[in-house]
Amino acid sequence: MSRGTRRGPGRHRRLAYVLAVTVAVVAAVAAYVVLRPSDDQPEPKARPTATRTNPTAWPSTATPKVVKPIGEPTQLVIRGIGVDAKVLPVGTTAKGAQEVPASLHDTGWWKDGQQPGQPGNAVIVGHTASKADGVFDELSDLGKGDRLTVKGRDGTLTYRITSEKEIKVADFAAESDQIYRETGASGLVLMTCGDWNGSRFETTVIAYAEAVGRS
């Protein structure tokens, strides 16, 4: 779909549900098929099973703004949780499912949405692995004011975390209008899977950030 085509709330909700299911399923399959341990390997590291029912939200300390876009993102750095990863463009399949990075260590920018610095939210997804190290394993550890940078083809943007929540996959559609926002201040959404129950991921971890400025 071209960037100039408008997408209504109904389309967002339909796509959003598929995206949530796809990210969870692909991450779970990768964790089991690619990373399942042999008989002589130790047990996989435990993932938290408790789900937060209330989002953790922090007020912004600066007036949200629109900044100059930096083009297609290529690198994401979140020093607070040890992330320094490639950002690869991912699209939407013919069946309406979001593509995800093949590597557990790369992140994927949803190229059918906003670019970093444009009005609305740019969306970047990454894997959580139950039996190895996924790039967004520690995403839920981000807190108020934590900063991150996104490098693009036309510059680098600094963002500040404003809120973080963990929701059930079934509740994802209700959050979709906020996640895929196309107007207003320049923001960033980071997403990964959460709540590994031994066979699948049951939630989505979402972190919202606001643009601080170019760096």
Tokens of 42: 């130790």
The predicted pLDDT at position 99 comes to 85
The predicted pLDDT at position 65 comes to 64
Report CA-CA distances (Å) from 125 to 22, 62, 156, 191: 11, 25, 19, 5
Question: Could you report the per-residue pLDDT of 73-100, keeping only the tens digit for each?
Answer: 999 999 999 999 999 999 988 887 778 8
What CATH number was assigned to the domain covering residues 9-214?
2.40.260.10
The closest alpha carbon to 201, from 191, 211, 209, belongs to: 191
Do the beta carbons of residue 191 and residue 206 sit within 8 Å? Answer: yes
> Sign of the C-alpha dihedral, residues 58, 61, 63, 69?
negative
Question: Could you report the per-residue pLDDT of 130-180, keeping only the tens digit for each?
Answer: 777 999 999 999 998 999 999 999 999 999 999 999 999 999 999 999 999
In the chain, domain spans: 9-214
Q: Compare 66 and 174 and report the one with higher pLDDT.
A: 174
